[in-house]
Amino acid sequence: MALNFADLFEHAADAFGGRAAVACGDRQVTYAELEERTNRLAHHLAGLGIGPGDHVGLYARNSIGALETLIAACKLRAPAVNINYRYVENELHYMFADSDLAALVYDRGLGRLVQAAAAKAAPGLRGLVEIDDGSDAPANPRATPYETALAAASPERDFPPRSHDDVYIIYTGGTTGYPKGVMWRHEDIWRTLGGGIDFITGEPLPDEWAQSRKGLETGEFVKLCAAPLIHGNAQVAALAGLFAGETIVLLAAFDACEIWRAIAKHRVNVLVIIGDAMARPLVEAYLAGGFDASSLVAVSSSAALFSPAVKDACAQALPDVVITEAIGSTETGFAGISFVSAGEPHLGGPTVMAGPDVIVLGDDGGAAGPGQVGRLARGGHVPLGYYKDPARTAAMFAEVNGKRYAVPGDMARVEDDGTLTLLGRGNTCVNTGGEKVFPEEVEGALKSHPDVFDSLVIGVPDALLGQRVAALVQLRPGAAADFGALQEHVRRQLAGYKVPRSIWLVDAIRRTVSGKADYGWAREYAASHPPDLDRVSGAHSSSTSSR
């Protein structure tokens, strides 16, 4: 079977030539147009000397050109490298050097940073392609304008055969450290993230034509991917949708009101989001009124905390919409799914039906049983490892009964009925007086307070406890913080040792562009600012404070 992303897309392009493929802003292309444009871009890149195994960087906001870059790279058997458009010069230097870029497609507005980083950190760079993003930044004379590159290149699909063993790379910044390139075989990532299984039943699709056949049966289906394409969530959701003949709707930047307008304009059926960072502003904008969501049948969240309070709000606001929450990571792919309903019990994290080959590893290295907590692991279709990092690669895998499992560090508990409750990353866990506290559980409790818009929970040094639970809290505009009431609110939901003892009020919680928690920033902020509440020393600015 041809289980390569480029082949899977070409099957759909042949089946749905006149159907709308991608819409972004005021532009839209059909499948036939997308096929021709991606062929042209691939031929331009090939003219630069790009071939199998070479790395093509994508440093851009969402656009039709950005999605075309992902497909064109696959056509050449060249892994695309996702680069966060929020990175500043030092971060960009790291990415350019670590990923060994051979070509780069980027937004014109980012050109100044590109020129500085390319000169210092990308000696193997063979060419630049510059997308017109509408900015007033000057064009880079060393780059080829995107549309010029396409106009001069061949539209033909005349590429050599590809392989299911070709490598697909997703760089993940995670929540705590430098980005790491996770390498997958195309077949493996298709079977875990790209639609190669039924996510509800876990059954594998029978062949390479299954998705395009489904698209013929279901008709035109419209999916809006709210996250940037530099995030794996949006990449695989968009590509899997294209394999099935869906229309993919993108926005250049996340804006809750604009997303609801796009849903109405394009009659969107499925909305793909990343946890609270997107769900909370979306549901609050919707409740403010004036938006038509009658076409929406499903909302899918993954990749970040989707707290009980926000899930309840979404379920109540959209009672006729199926809302799902999936767990997993760039290192495991899909690991489980649950259906969200208002008022469901909360067990400390999302509780899901486990995906194929997903287990929890106990302290003895074997599969954990009911009631036990351990490390989430996935076998079967797993990644090859981290790019240029054999030590981290070796640490990511474990063998159980002769079978290899990817174990990225997520902690989970096995429930009595066999479902799994995801608790959080082990490297963000707070060890306070011998008790383990997972930040996501406390963050969810804090965010259920009506005056709290967002929060991050970390551990800070404590002479008696080793670490104490601490929180950075972003209040709603005009809200007054009553620290005692806030702590009591958490205490009513969680054990006393999980209640934050130190609290910092911040104007805004910093998250990654995809909505993931930035715990590194939280620790730096806490280390450089006195807390507004500190139960250990007994000193705080006041019992109430406006923010």
If one counts every other C-beta atom within 10 angstroms of the C-beta of residue 214, the result is: 16
Cα 427 to chain center, whole Å?
A: 19
pLDDT value for 515? 84
Residue 469, helix vs strand vs coil: strand
Contacts of 269 (CB under 8 A, 6+ apart): 221, 222, 223, 295, 296, 297, 298
Instruction: Determine the pLDDT at residue 174.
Output: 52
CA-CA-CA-CA torsion for 247, 251, 256, 262, nearest 10 degrees?
-40
User: Residue 70 is which amino acid?
Assistant: L
Tokens of 429: 């866990």
Question: What is the CATH number that goes with domain 429-546?
Answer: 3.30.300.30
Task: Give me the pLDDT at residue 211, please.
Answer: 96
- What pLDDT sits at residue 536? 66
Whether the CB-CB separation of 250 and 203 falls below 8 Å is answered with no
| Phi, psi (degrees; rounded to nearest 5) at 377 | -140, 145
SS3 call for 217: helix
Domain map of the chain by residue range? 429-546
What pLDDT, on the 0 to 100 scale, is given for residue 90? Answer: 87
Close Cβ partners of 374 (under 8 Å, ≥ 6 residues apart): 360, 361, 362, 363, 368, 411, 412, 414
- What b/e sequence results for 79-96 when a residue is b if at least 16 CB atoms lie within 10 Å of its CB, and e otherwise? bbbbbbbebeeebbbebb
Tokens found for residue 113: 């940073």
State the pLDDT at residue 540.
Answer: 47
* Per-residue CA distances from 47 to 72, 127, 145 (Å): 13, 10, 15
Backbone angles phi, psi at 484, to 5 degrees: -65, -45
**CA-to-CA distance for 187 and 125, rounded, in angstroms?**
28
Strands (E), 37-172: 55-59, 80-82, 101-107, 127-131, 144-145, 167-172
Label residue 289 exposed, middle or buried (CB < 10 Å: 0-12, 13-18, 19+): exposed
pLDDT at residue 82 in the model: 96
Amino acid making up residue 155: P
pLDDT tens series, the chain, 547 aa: 689 999 999 999 999 999 999 999 999 999 999 999 999 999 999 999 999 999 999 999 999 999 999 999 999 999 999 999 988 888 899 999 999 999 999 999 999 999 999 988 999 999 999 999 999 999 999 999 999 999 999 999 999 999 999 999 999 875 556 789 999 999 999 999 999 999 999 999 999 999 999 999 988 999 999 999 999 999 999 999 999 999 999 999 999 999 999 999 999 999 999 999 999 999 999 999 889 999 999 999 998 899 999 999 999 999 999 999 999 999 999 999 999 999 988 899 999 999 999 999 999 999 999 999 999 999 999 999 999 999 999 999 999 999 999 999 999 999 999 999 999 988 899 999 999 999 999 999 999 999 999 999 999 999 999 999 999 999 999 999 999 999 999 999 999 999 999 999 999 999 988 788 999 999 999 999 999 999 764 444 444 444 5
